[in-house]
C-alpha cells in the first residue's frame, strides 16, 4: 500500500491537465499520481495516454460530480492517505512532505490543507480555502484570509499551524481509513459544500481538521463553474441547508434552519432588485430541493453520531453572524472579527 496517492478528479479539464500536471509530476516525491476522469468529452483521456503515460488513469462511466466522482475513484485506490487535488492547481517544490508530516503527528487528524494562494495573483490568498476554513453558527463558510469577496494579501499573518473547521477540496490530504469510515462525501451534493459536510461529520466523530502553513499551492479557482453562475448558486444554497440539517444538534437544527430561510429570502430579494433573477430563482429551487430531501436527511441524521442526545459543538464554529460582522459592522478580515483568536 502506498503512503499517499495523489488523485486529481477531472471533467473536461484537458487544458488544466496539460498546464498543471507537469508541476504535480515533478513535485510528487515519487508517489503515484492518479487522474479520475468523470466521463469527459474533451479528449482528456487521450491527452493523458499520449503525454502523461506514468499517470494512473481511473475512468468513470458517468459524470458523478465532485462528491460521487471521488467516492467512486477512491474505492479503486489503496493508500494510507489520499491527496485530493483540483486539476487547476499548481503545486510548489516540497508541498507534500509538510502535509504528511503534520498528519502523521496525530492519528486524530482526519484531513489537512496547505496554504492556498491565487494562481493569478500569487501574493494573495485564493477564495476557496485560503488559510483554512470555518463556518459561523448559521452555516456560512469563510476562511482565514477570505471573508466573502474580500481576499487578503499573504503577509505571513496566518503562518501558524492550527486546527480549523474545514479543509478545502481544492487541495486536501485525507486519512483514507477515516474517509471510508464516514462513507466518503455525500454523493447527493454532487458538487460544492461536500468537503465542509465531510469535515463536520469527521469532527462530530471526534477527529480533527488542520491547516498546514508550511505547504503552499496556487489555485486558479472557478475552473468547473465560474463564480457567477446560477447552477453554482443552486448547489451552494441547497447543500448548505442539507449540511446544517444533517450535522447540527437537535436543539439547534430547527431554529438555525428557520433563520437561514429568512436570510436566504432576503438574499434572493436583493439579487432580484439587482436584476439577477436567475440567481433568485436558483435560491427558490434550492429550497424546494432541500424540502424534497427531508425524509432522506432524517435517515442520515439517525445513521450519524447520535445528535439527538449529544449537544455536539466545536470551537471552530464562529458564535456570531459572519454576515452581520461583514456587511453591517464592516469587519472585512478574519483578524477584525471579535473572538477570532479563540477559534
The list of the chain residues with pLDDT below 70 reads 222-228, 304-312
CA 26 to chain CA mean position, Å: 25
Distance (Å, rounded) from C-alpha 11 to C-alpha 40?
5
Characterize the bridge pairing of strands 79-86 and 171-175.
antiparallel
- Nearest Cα to Cα of residue 166 among 146, 152, 180, 181: 146
- Domain ranges within the chain, ordered by starting residue: 2-219, 230-312
Residue 313, pLDDT score:
77
Angle 221-223-225 from CA coordinates, rounded to 5° = 105
CB atoms within 10 A of CB 26: 10
Q: Is residue 189 within 8 Å of residue 300, measured between CB atoms?
A: no
Task: Report if pTM > 0.85.
Answer: yes
- At 146 the three-state DSSP class reads strand
Place of cell 496525530: 106
Tens digits of residue pLDDT in 260-283: 999 999 999 999 999 999 999 999
Distance (Å, rounded) from C-alpha 199 to C-alpha 176?
13
- The strand pairing partners of 56, in sequence order, are 34
Q: Is residue 6 within 8 Å of residue 74, measured between CB atoms?
A: no
- At 69 the three-state DSSP class reads helix
Residues across the chain: 343
List % helix, strand, coil for the chain (3-state, nearest 5). 40, 20, 35
Characterize the bridge pairing of strands 133-136 and 109-118.
unpaired
CATH of 2-219 given 3.90.550.10, 3.40.50.880, 3.40.50.920, 3.30.70.260: 3.90.550.10
Q: Tell me the Cα Rg of the chain.
A: 19
Amino acid at each position: 500500500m502506498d503512503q499517499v496517492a495523489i488523485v486529481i478528479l477531472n471533467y473536461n479539464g484537458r487544458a488544466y491537465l496539460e498546464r498543471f500536471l507537469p508541476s504535480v509530476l515533478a513535485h510528487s516525491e515519487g508517489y503515484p499520481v492518479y487522474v479520475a476522469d468523470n466521463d469527459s468529452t474533451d479528449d482528456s483521456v487521450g491527452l493523458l495516454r499520449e503525454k502523461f503515460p506514468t499517470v494512473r488513469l481511473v475512468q468513470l462511466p458517468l459524470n458523478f460530480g465532485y462528491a460521487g466522482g471521488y467516492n467512486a475513484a477512491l474505492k479503486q485506490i489503496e493508500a494510507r492517505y489520499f491527496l485530493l487535488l483540483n486539476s487547476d492547481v499548481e503545486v510548489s517544490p516540497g508541498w507534500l512532505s509538510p502535509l504528511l508530516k503534520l498528519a502523521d503527528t496525530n492519528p486524530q487528524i482526519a484531513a489537512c490543507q496547505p496554504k492556498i494562494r491565487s494562481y493569478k495573483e500569487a501574493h494573495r490568498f485564493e477564495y476557496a480555502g485560503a488559510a483554512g476554513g470555518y463556518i459561523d453558527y448559521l452555516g456560512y463558510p469563510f476562511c482565514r484570509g477570505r471573508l466573502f469577496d474580500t481576499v487578503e494579501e499573504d503577509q505571513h499573518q496566518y503562518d501558524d499551524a492550527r486546527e480549523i473547521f474545514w479543509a478545502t477540496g481544492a487541495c486536501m490530504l485525507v486519512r483514507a481509513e477515516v474517509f471510508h469510515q464516514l462513507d466518503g462525501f455525500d454523493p447527493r451534493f454532487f458538487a460544492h459544500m461536500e468537503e465542509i459536510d465531510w469535515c463536520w461529520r469527521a469532527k462530530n466523530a471526534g477527529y480533527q481538521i488542520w491547516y498546514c502553513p508550511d505547504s503552499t499551492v496556487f489555485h486558479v479557482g472557478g475552473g468547473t463553474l465560474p463564480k457567477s453562475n446560477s447552477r453554482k448558486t443552486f448547489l451552494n444554497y441547497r447543500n448548505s441547508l442539507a449540511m446544517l440539517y444533517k450535522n447540527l444538534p437537535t436543539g439547534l437544527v430547527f431554529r438555525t434552519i428557520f433563520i437561514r430561510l429568512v436570510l436566504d429570502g432576503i438574499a434572493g430579494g436583493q439579487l432580484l432588485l439587482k436584476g439577477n433573477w436567475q440567481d433568485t430563482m436558483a435560491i427558490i429551487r434550492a429550497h424546494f430541493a432541500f424540502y424534497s430531501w427531508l425524509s432522506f436527511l432524517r435517515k442520515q441524521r439517525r445513521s450519524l453520531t447520535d445528535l439527538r442526545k449529544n449537544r455536539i459543538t466545536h470551537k471552530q464554529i464562529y458564535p456570531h453572524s459572519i454576515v452581520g460582522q461583514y456587511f453591517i459592522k464592516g469587519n472585512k478580515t478574519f483578524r477584525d472579527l471579535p473572538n477570532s483568536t479563540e477559534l
